[in-house]
Structure 1
Amino acid sequence: MKSGQRPGPDQVPERGPEHDPREVPESDAEYDPSAPAPLEVARTPTGNPDVDARLERLADADHLTTDGHPEVYEDVHQGLRDALTALDSRPGPPAPAFPRPPSGGAPAPAGTPR
């Protein structure tokens, strides 16, 4: 095949030592690495509806270009922080009561006779 000539459909183009494997083939000339592409990351439910909703929100990044990902990630991060804060603010069982020292003042250090 002569230089500058394109191969026909039944011909295999010649590849010499100057071929760069990182080069994008002509058939993929429209390839755009920033185009939306599913990451296909498995999201396992946690059982907490607030957290699970945030994890599912990550799937929205699969349909956005890379410049749209930070907005999704920031939203998910804030939602997870809010879920953790809500866990801290829920009323729970009362704190355990610790026994008070005898009415003779401060407790004696360990190993000190009374």
Structure 2
Amino acid sequence: MSESTPVWARDLVAAQGTPDAPPQEAPGGERPEDAPAATGTTAEPQPLGVTVAATGNAEVDAAVERLGDADELPVHAHIEVYEDVHQGLRDTLTALDENRG
């Protein structure tokens, strides 16, 4: 592989190995072939477990809390939650701007 080969391509070859060199281990000691095989079934959604500190603004805190609703939804349904939260945050910012003037 030459110096002009993109880094991502070199990393891919290193991870997969070649006939001359076995695959390299990942930082955690796992190799790609050690990963569980895909079964073709759709897994249940798993919460990300992200925690967010309160901002002190009730409207913003309510909007951020609403993001947690996406944890219980399949990925294709997340957009509705994100759009709702985005609109709520925009409304809150607009209200703050209007009170400044």
Number of aligned pairs? 71
Aligned identity (percent) is 52
- What per-residue deviation string (whole Å, max 9, x for no partner) do you get for residues 35-91 of structure 1? 321111111110000000000000000100111111111111111011000001115
Match of 1:32 in 2: 42
- What per-residue deviation string (whole Å, max 9, x for no partner) do you get for residues 75-113 of structure 1? 111110110000011156xxxxxxxxxxxxxxxxxxxxx
TM score, norm. by length of structure 1: 0.53
Identify, as 1 or 2, the structure richer in helix.
2
Cα distance between partner residues in 2 of 1:37 and 1:54: 21
TM score, norm. by length of structure 2: 0.60
The Cα of 1:21 is off from its aligned counterpart by: 2.5
The Cα of 1:32 is off from its aligned counterpart by: 2.6
Say which SS state the counterpart of residue 34 (structure 2) adopts: coil
Q: Matches of residues 1-114 of structure 1 in structure 2 within 5 Å?
A: 20-24=33-37, 29=39, 32-33=42-43, 35-90=44-99
Cα distance between partner residues in 1 of 2:45 and 2:77: 10
Cα distance between partner residues in 1 of 2:100 and 2:33: 64
**Deviation >6 Å, runs of 4+:** none
Which amino acid counterpart does residue 72 of structure 1 have in structure 2?
Answer: V
Compute the RMSD of aligned alpha carbons: 2.6
Unpaired stretches in structure 2, ≥5 consecutive residues: 1-21, 23-31
Say which SS state the counterpart of residue 47 (structure 1) adopts: coil
Which amino acid counterpart does residue 75 of structure 1 have in structure 2?
Answer: D
Unpaired stretches in structure 1, ≥5 consecutive residues: 1-16, 93-114
